[in-house]
């Protein structure tokens, strides 16, 4: 049941999957046009050259098509079909920038695409069905979850939180205590990377905005990251909040 609720938050992945398929078709079309344009010129060098270059382009386009098909199937079925880790890497390193560009041309906001990417990434991570002990998981939180008028410095040690309950830090610290999981509050990407280097988790459950989560997922690869978006009722980076229940559900899906 918990799993179902977390997966439901991932329904936006459909957009990324659609854009992935469109990107794939466009790449194949560009390859076909390139081959067609170059064909006549190549034939003057050697009559067999158009066929050789055409064959190579077809193999590359075929690999891209197959990879995208596997990504789409893995994302939709939620099952590790084949090489999910590698496919996640291709999506993160190669497809995301291209898809962001195509989405921009289609008038889709960058945040919408990133939300969809995070949802797809979560699906791919969960499809691997990893089950870990609590000490191999790290919860990483952004500093903006803490109330700005709170005088306690929770970065570095969340246990300093007095648990007054005025911001989500209190509930999240309780959650980490319940499962005996490491939890850290980071003020930015550099500190987050430092925390990960120190704690060496096998999986990170991270809370952040679309931009920070996307760059965090990209920077951490191949370390799997389950991303949970924060809510920003007062605008970005100030007194943000998060549904603790979503973190709880994500944790239950990866805890052994």
Size of the site for ligand SF4 (CB under 6 A): 14
Q: CA 100, 3, 18: angle at the middle one, nearest 5? A: 25
For ligand SF4, give the closer residue by CB, 172 or 206.
172
Q: How far is the CB of 181 from ligand SF4 (least distance, A)?
A: 18
For ligand SF4, give the closer residue by CB, 149 or 256.
149
Q: How far is the CB of 251 from ligand SF4 (least distance, A)?
A: 20
User: How far is residue 139's CA from residue 180's CA, in Å, rounded to a whole number?
Assistant: 11
Q: Let me know how long the chain is.
A: 256
Q: How far is the CB of 178 from ligand SF4 (least distance, A)?
A: 16
User: How far is residue 37's CA from residue 93's CA, in Å, rounded to a whole number?
Assistant: 29
Question: Between 128 and 157, how does the x/- string for binding to ligand SF4 read (CB under 6 A)?
Answer: ------------------xx--x-x-x---
User: How far is residue 107's CA from residue 129's CA, in Å, rounded to a whole number?
Assistant: 35
Question: Between 4 and 43, how does the x/- string for binding to ligand SF4 read (CB under 6 A)?
Answer: ----------------------------------------
Residue 89's nearest CA partner among 103, 71, 73 is 71
Q: How far is the CB of 207 from ligand SF4 (least distance, A)?
A: 14
Site for ligand SF4 in 167-196 (CB under 6 A): 167, 169-170
Please pick, from the candidates 162, 180, 194, 234, the single residue that binds ligand SF4 as defined by CB under 6 A. Answer: 162
Largest CA distance in the chain: 78
Q: How far is the CB of 180 from ligand SF4 (least distance, A)?
A: 20
Helices (H), the chain: 2-8, 13-45, 49-77, 84-90, 96-105, 110-127, 168-179, 189-199, 210-220, 244-254
For ligand SF4, give the closer residue by CB, 119 or 161.
161
For ligand SF4, give the closer residue by CB, 176 or 226.
176
Are 113 and 100 contacting, i.e. CB atoms less than 8 angstroms apart?
yes
For ligand SF4, give the closer residue by CB, 158 or 203.
158
Tokens matching residue 235: 């605008």
User: How far is residue 169's CA from residue 187's CA, in Å, rounded to a whole number?
Assistant: 14
Question: Between 91 and 130, how does the x/- string for binding to ligand SF4 read (CB under 6 A)?
Answer: ----------------------------------------
Q: How far is the CB of 170 from ligand SF4 (least distance, A)?
A: 4
User: How far is residue 116's CA from residue 138's CA, in Å, rounded to a whole number?
Assistant: 23
Q: How far is the CB of 145 from ligand SF4 (least distance, A)?
A: 8
For ligand SF4, give the closer residue by CB, 185 or 253.
185
- Rounded to 5 degrees, φ, ψ at 151 are -85, -10
Signed CA dihedral, 198, 202, 205, 210: sign only: positive
Q: Which residues contact ligand SF4 (rule: CB under 6 A)? A: 146-147, 150, 152, 154, 161-167, 169-170
């Amino acid at each position: 049941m918990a799993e179902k609720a977390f997966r439901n938050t991932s329904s936006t992945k459909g957009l990324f999957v659609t854009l992935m398929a469109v990107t794939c078709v466009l790449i194949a079309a560009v390859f076909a046009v390139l081959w067609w344009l170059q064909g006549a010129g190549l034939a003057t060098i050697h009559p067999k050259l158009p066929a050789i270059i055409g064959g190579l382009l077809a193999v590359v386009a075929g690999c891209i098509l197959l990879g995208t098909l596997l990504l789409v199937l893995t994302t939709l079925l939620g099952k590790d079909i084949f090489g999910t880790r590698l496919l996640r890497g291709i999506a993160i390193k190669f497809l995301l920038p291209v898809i962001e560009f195509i989405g921009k041309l289609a008038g889709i906001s960058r945040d919408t695409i990133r939300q969809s990417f995070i949802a797809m990434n979560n699906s791919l991570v969960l499809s691997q069905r990893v089950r870990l002990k609590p000490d191999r998981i790290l919860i990483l939180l952004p500093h903006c979850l803490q109330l700005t008028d709170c005088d306690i410095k929770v970065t570095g040690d969340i246990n300093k939180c007095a648990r007054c309950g005025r911001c989500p830090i209190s509930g999240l610290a309780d959650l980490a205590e319940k499962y005996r999981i490491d939890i850290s509050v980071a003020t930015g990407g550099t500190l987050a990377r430092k925390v990960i280097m120190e704690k060496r988790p096998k999986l990170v459950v991270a809370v952040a905005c679309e931009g920070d989560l996307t760059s965090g997922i990209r920077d951490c690869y191949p370390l799997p990251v389950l991303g949970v978006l924060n809510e920003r009722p007062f605008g970005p980076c100030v007194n943000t909040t998060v549904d603790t229940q979503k973190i709880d559900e994500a944790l239950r899906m990866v805890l052994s």
